[in-house]
Amino acid sequence: MCGIVGLFLKDPGLEPRLGEMLTDMLITMTDRGPDSAGIAIYGRGEPGRAKLTIQSADPAQDFAGLAEAVGQAIGAEARAEVKDTHVVLTVPADKLQEAREAVQAIRPGVTVMSAGEEIEIFKETGLPKDVAARFGVDRMAGTHGIGHTRMATESAVTTAGAHPFSTGSDQCLVHNGSLSNHNSVRRRLKVAGMSFQTENDTEVAAAFLTHRMHEGASLEQAMEATLTDLDGFFTFVVGTKDGFGVIRDPIACKPAVMAETDQYVAFGSEYRALVNLPGIENARVWEPEPATAYFWER
């Protein structure tokens, strides 16, 4: 039993409040998963630049001089913004992969949480309110985001095992449920060139979508492919640079509710996650259908 939330803003006037609204939604879901929590924020990127969000168990040691070392390695300016156990490293967009390789060579003990032009992922063990406060998520602006509070069933309670999982540029996924064939799917994806940081079944789902989209599938087509290729009970909320999507397995035993107004589209494991959103009393509210892909893009 986990809690997941998502918020896609249609109204640019709400963008300064994205982090505040997502934080409130996620805190409301605390009793569905008190082990760890995480949020992916999609902010309007800086033209010509991209970001790596990096986590460390020893940030004072690992983040000292990191931007300078990476900048020297890639021959371009790298800027760092430290946020507790994470740092957002900004580099020229055409140097993103080179910068990622440099980070892993210079600081092999750190974990790259996300990479892309707009995405930033912050996650740690602990209650949602504490995790959000550590990173100041409620003060973050953006266009859309997704969040997760975890009750661990498939793996240990660690930062690496927390959601969201990101396996592609500006892509991430949160999951409520359990996959029964993740080991066999992981093996196939490794043969296809995908790499993994954990044994978590949700990382497999994220990598499955990334691989499908690398092969040319749209977000909708990739989500629909989960219905035939992934076994188990699941509700997925997926983030991309341009929007987000939702899909439930054909049985749909995991709870889910959506709301849409002229200002936003919102997702929550339960309706109570949505009750403080502006104008929710006038929203169209519905339960997403089983085996049906929903997605919204800018």
Q: Chain centroid to CA 251: how far?
A: 24
d(CA 95, CA 98) in angstroms, rounded, equals 5
Burial 264-273 (b: 16+ CB within 10 A, else e): bbbbbbbeeb
d(CA 111, CA 228) in angstroms, rounded, equals 32
User: Has 2 been annotated as catalytic?
Assistant: yes
**Secondary structure of the chain: what % helix, strand, coil (to 5)?**
35, 30, 35
d(CA 51, CA 170) in angstroms, rounded, equals 10
Q: DSSP assignment of 33-86, as one string?
A: --SEEEEEEE-PPPTTEEEEEEE-SSHHHHHTTHHHHHHHHHTS--EEEEETTE
> What is the rounded end-to-end Cα distance, in angstroms, of the chain?
31
Q: Which of 2, 70, 91, 96 is catalytic?
A: 2
CA dihedral 28, 34, 40, 41 (to 10 degrees): 40
Q: Would you name the residues annotated as active-site residues? A: 2
